[in-house]
Structure 1
Amino acid sequence: MSLLELPHLNYLDLSRNDFDGTQFPEFICSLGKLRHLNLGYFGFGGQIPHCLGNLTKLQFLDLSVNWLSDTNLDWLSGFESLEYLDLSRNNFEGTIIPDSLGNLMSLRVLRLSENILSGRVPKSIRYLSQIDTIILGSNRLEGLISELHLFNLSKLKVLDLSFNSNLTIRTSSSWNPPFQLESLYLASCKLGPYFPKWLQNQKRTQTVDISNAKISDNVPNWFWENIQTCATLNMSYNQMYGVIPSLSSVLINLVTIDLRSNEFNGSLPLLPPTVTEIYFSRNRFSGTIFNICYNLTRNLRFLDLSDNLFSTHIPQRCFMNLMNIDYLNLANNNFFGEIPNSIDLPCAVSFLHLRKNSFTGEISSLKSNNIHGSLPRNLCHLQNLQVLDISANNISGTIPKCLKNFTKLRSEIDPNSIDYRFFMDDGSGSYDSAYIVWKRQEAMYSSTLRLLTLIDLSSNNIIGEIPHEVTSLIGLVALNLSRNNLVGSIPSDISHLELSNFLDFSKNKLSGSIPPTLAKLNHLGVLDLSFNNFSGKIPWSAHLQTFDASTYMGNPRLCGPPLVLKPCPGDKTPAGNIDETQNQEHDDIFNSKGFYVSIALGFIIAFWGVSGTLFLNKWCRITIGKMLISVKDWLYMMASRI
Structure 2
Amino acid sequence: MENMKWLSSLGMLHHLDMSGLDLSKATDWLQVINTLPSLVQLHLSDCKLSNLHMYVPSVNLTSLSVLDLSYNNFNNSVSQWIFSVTSLVSLDLTRCYFRGPIPSFRNLTSLELLLVARNDFMNSSSIFQELSSSNLITLDIRSCGISSSVLDSLQNLTNLISLRLSDNQLTKRIPKSLGNFCNFREIDLSGNNIGNISLTYFLESFFACKSPALESLSLSYTHITGIIPHSIGNLSFLRTLYLSVNQISGPIPYSIGRLSSLAELDVSFNQINGSFPDWIGQLSSLEWLDVRFNRLDGSLPDSLGQLSKLTHLDFSHNLLTGVVTEAHFIKLVSLKDLKGSANKFILKLQVANWIPLFQLRSLLLRNWVLGPQFPSWLQSQKDLQELDISNTGISSPMPESFVRSFSELWDLNMSNNHIRGPLTFSGIAATLEFIDISSNAFWGSLHPLLCSSGVTSTSFLNLENNHLSGDLPECWEKWPRLDILNLGNNSLSGEIPRTLGSLHLTYLNMHGNKISGRLHSSLMNLTDLDVLQLGRNELTGSIPTWIGTKLTRLRILNLGSNRFDGNIPHELCHIIHIHILDLAHNNLSGNIPICFNKFSILSGIETNSKDDFTYFAGPELSIAGDSLVTNGREDTYSSILPLVMLIDLSSNNLTGHIPSELMSLLKLKSLNLSRNQLSGSIPEKIGNMKELIYLDLSINRLSGELPMSLSSLHFLSSFNVSFNNLTGRIPTGTQLQSFGESSFFGNKLCGAPLTETNGCERVKAATHTIGEKKEEDGADWGLIISIVVGFVCGFWMIMGPLIVRRSWRIAYFSFVSNLRYMVYDVIHKYCCHMFSC
Fold match, TM over 0.5? Answer: yes
Partner of 2:538: 358
Distance 1:415 1:160 in 2: 30
1:8 aligns with 2:183: yes
Contact 1:415 1:451 in 2 (8 A): no
> Where do residues 231-310 of structure 1 align in structure 2 (5 Å cutoff)?
231-247=410-426, 250-268=428-446, 269-270=449-450, 272-291=455-474, 293-296=476-479, 299-310=481-492
1:463 to 655, 679, 682: 655
| Residue 407 of structure 1, CA deviation | 4.2
Correspondence list, 1:395-474, <5 A? 395-411=588-604, 414=608, 416-421=610-615, 433-474=625-666
CA distance 1:63–1:346, shift in 2 (3 Å): same
Alignment partner, residue 269 of structure 2: 89
Report the equivalent of 2:760.
567
In terms of mean alpha carbon deviation, does 376-385 or 181-190 score higher?
376-385
Selected match of 2:200 from 24, 42, 45:
24
User: CA deviation digits over 1:6-30, x for unaligned, max 9?
Assistant: 3333333343426358463250564
2 CA distance for matches of 1:280 and 1:460? Answer: 31
- Following TM superposition, by how much is the alpha carbon of 1:209 offset from its aligned partner in structure 2, in angstroms? 0.2
State the shift of 1:404 in Å.
3.6
The 8 Å contact of residues 140 and 166 in structure 1, kept in 2 or not, is answered as: no
Structure 1 position 399, deviation (Å): 1.3
CA positional deviation for 1:436? 2.2
Q: What's the counterpart of residue 314 of structure 1?
A: 495
Q: Counterpart of 2:509?
A: 329
User: What secondary structure, in the 3-state scheme, does the structure 2 residue paired with 1:373 have?
Assistant: strand
2:567 matched residue in structure 1: 374
Gap change, CA 1:568 and 1:283, over 3 Å in 2: same
1:158 is matched with which residue: 323, 337, 350? 337
Gaps of 5+ in 2: 1-175, 545-557, 767-837
Map residues 424-573 of structure 1 onto 2, 5 A cutoff.
433-535=625-727, 538-547=730-739, 550-556=742-748, 562=753, 564-567=757-760
Does the CA-based 8 Å contact 2:650-2:676 persist in structure 1? yes
Q: Which amino acid aligns with 1:479?
A: L
CA distance in 1, matches of 2:219, 2:362: 27
**Distance (whole Å) between structure 1 residues aligned to residue 478 and residue 658 of structure 2:** 42
Partner of 1:286, secondary structure, is strand
Question: Could you tell me the TM-score, scaled by structure 2's length?
Answer: 0.61
State the distance in 2 between where 1:45 and 1:495 align: 46
AA of the residue aligned to 2:240: F
One-letter code aligned to 2:498? R
- Structure 1: gaps (5+ residues): 574-642
Question: 1:372 aligns to what SS in structure 2?
Answer: strand
- For residue 321 of structure 1, report the CA deviation from its aligned partner: 6.4
SS at match of 1:519: helix
Structure 1 pair 252–382 and aligned structure 2 pair: CA distance change class (3 A): farther
The CA deviation string for residues 352-375 of structure 1, in whole angstroms up to 9 with x for no partner, is 444443332222944333322221
Would you say 1:202 and 2:381 are equivalent positions?
yes
Q: Which among 382, 401, 407 is matched to residue 228 of structure 1?
A: 407
CA contact (8 A) 1:237 1:426 kept: no
Q: What corresponds to 1:588 in structure 2?
A: none
* TM-score, normalised via structure 1 length: 0.78
Q: Could you say if the C-alpha distance between residues 121 and 358 of structure 1 is closer, same or farther in structure 2, counting changes exceeding 3 Å?
A: same
What corresponds to 1:63 in structure 2?
243
Deviation string, structure 1 residues 58-86 (Cα, Å, up to 9, x no partner) = 12212223343445632112222222101
Indicate the structure (1 or 2) with the bigger Cα radius of gyration: 2
1:394 CA drift (Å) = 1.5
Task: Indicate conservation of the 8 Å contact 1:383/1:407, yes or no.
Answer: yes
Structure 1 residues 292, 562: CA separation in 2 closer, same or farther (over 3 Å shift)? farther
Residues 232/404 of structure 1: CA separation in 2 closer, same or farther (3 Å cut): farther
Deviations 1:218-249 (A, max 9, x none): 222332222232221101122222333354x6
How far apart, in 1, do the equivalents of 2:246 and 2:477 lie? 49
Q: CA RMSD in A?
A: 3.5
Distance 1:292 1:437 in 2: 35
Equivalents in 2 of 1:207, 1:396: separation in Å? 50
Q: Which amino acid aligns with 1:309?
A: S
How has the CA–CA distance of structure 1 residues 300 and 72 changed in structure 2, closer, same or farther, with 3 Å as cutoff? closer
For 1:242 and 1:510, how far apart are their aligned partners in 2? 53
The answer to whether the 8 A contact 2:615-2:624 is kept is no
1:426 to 1:108, Cα distance in 2 relative to 1, 3 A = closer
- CA–CA separation in structure 1 for the residues paired with 2:626 and 2:619: 14
- Deviation of 1:346 after TM superposition, in Å, equals 4.8
User: Which of 287, 291, 296 is the matching residue for 1:117?
Assistant: 296
- CA–CA distance in 1 between the matches of 2:753 and 2:375? 64
Distance in structure 2 (CA, Å) of the matches to 1:172 and 1:408? 58
- Counterpart Cα distance in 1 of 2:476 and 2:603: 31
Deviation of 1:118 (Å): 3.1
Q: Which of these residues, 231, 241, 244, is aligned with residue 51 of structure 1?
A: 231
Deviations 1:526-564 (A, max 9, x none): 2223333445554444444444554444443x5665564
Tell me, in whole angstroms, the C-alpha distance in 1 between the residues paired with 2:636 and 2:617: 14
State the Cα distance separating 1:90 from its structure 2 match.
2.9
Number of residues paired by the alignment? 565
Q: How does 1:187-198 map to 2 (within 5 A)?
A: 187-198=366-377
Instruction: Give the secondary structure class of the aligned counterpart of 1:344.
Output: helix
User: Does the residue aligned with 1:485 lie in a helix, a strand or coil?
Assistant: coil
